[in-house]
Amino acid sequence: MRSVKVEPPAEMGMTDGLSFALFLPASAPLATVVVVHGAGSCKESHFDFARACRADGLAVVCFDMRGHGESEGALDERAVSDVAAMAALARDRTGVDAVALRGSSMGGYLALVAAADARAAAVVAICPASAAGMARGLRSGRFEFRADLEGLGSVLASHDELRAAEALGGALLLLHAEGDEIVGVEHSRELHVAAAGSRLVAVPGGHHRSVQHDAELQALSIRFIRTAGTVPPVRD
């Protein structure tokens, strides 16, 4: 039997109550990807994507949102600024200005609406949630993570993902399973229409979590980020 040792992150730490892991490639990265996980998930769930990025010359920051994993406090009105803070940390650690965001489900929504504040060159949104759907989930008590209902509710009320997608245009890649039982693929189709020049990959079958760990679609995301990482960042 042959055992294989997986190289760990280059750095694991805590900043302003947020737990993060930094992956660095062997040489200077072309860009850094900030990974924004979904509701009830954690940074470790996306280490497979981080390792794939690292092998292809990209740096990656995975972090636990507040109310999740090892981060402190509850998910609140800082949700968008926390994504921007992770982008700033990525620039500080790598010395490279180009940052992309990759978010899944709730993280897809946050990646979209935080793109301008994070000065993101590109966004990959996987089965992105809608503000309306998340607000319904909060009201019904469906989510199990620690949340400040008033603070997080204010984020959902003041940040429109369709307007954010429109601002991103061709810097947006949408990936969605047509069999998604939680967020219907129709939402990504609406975002695609709003974002002129964006790309939508709708995968037959699957479920809410299947796309984010698909090796072929991870490779597609990496190619998109490597190309888009050379363009100017998104601004209001």
Q: Where are the domains of the chain?
A: 11-123+143-160+209-228
Phi and psi, residue 225, nearest 5°: -65, -40
How many helices, marked H, and strands, marked E, lie in the chain? 8, 8
pLDDT tens profile 138-173: 988 888 899 999 999 999 999 999 999 999 999 999
**pTM for this entry:** 0.94
Determine the Cα–Cα distance for residues 136 and 150; give it in Å rounded to an integer.
13
Determine the Cα–Cα distance for residues 209 and 149; give it in Å rounded to an integer.
25
Q: Tell me what the mean pLDDT of segment 48-56 comes to.
A: 97
Q: Which of these CATH numbers, 1.20.990.10, 3.40.50.300, 3.40.50.720, 3.40.50.1820, describes 11-123+143-160+209-228?
A: 3.40.50.1820
pLDDT tens profile 167-205: 999 999 999 999 988 999 999 999 999 999 999 999 998
Q: Residue 149: which region, alpha, beta or left (left: phi > 0; alpha: psi -120 to 50)?
A: alpha
Question: Among 105, 108, 100, 88, which residue's Cα sits nearest to residue 15?
Answer: 88
Q: Which residues, in sequence order, are bridge partners of residue 203?
A: 177
Question: Among 90, 38, 30, which residue's Cα sits nearest to residue 61?
Answer: 90
Determine the Cα–Cα distance for residues 114 and 101; give it in Å rounded to an integer.
9
What integer best gives the mean pLDDT of the chain? 93
The pLDDT score that the predictor gives to residue 234 is: 42
Question: Among 68, 8, 60, which residue's Cα sits nearest to residue 38?
Answer: 68
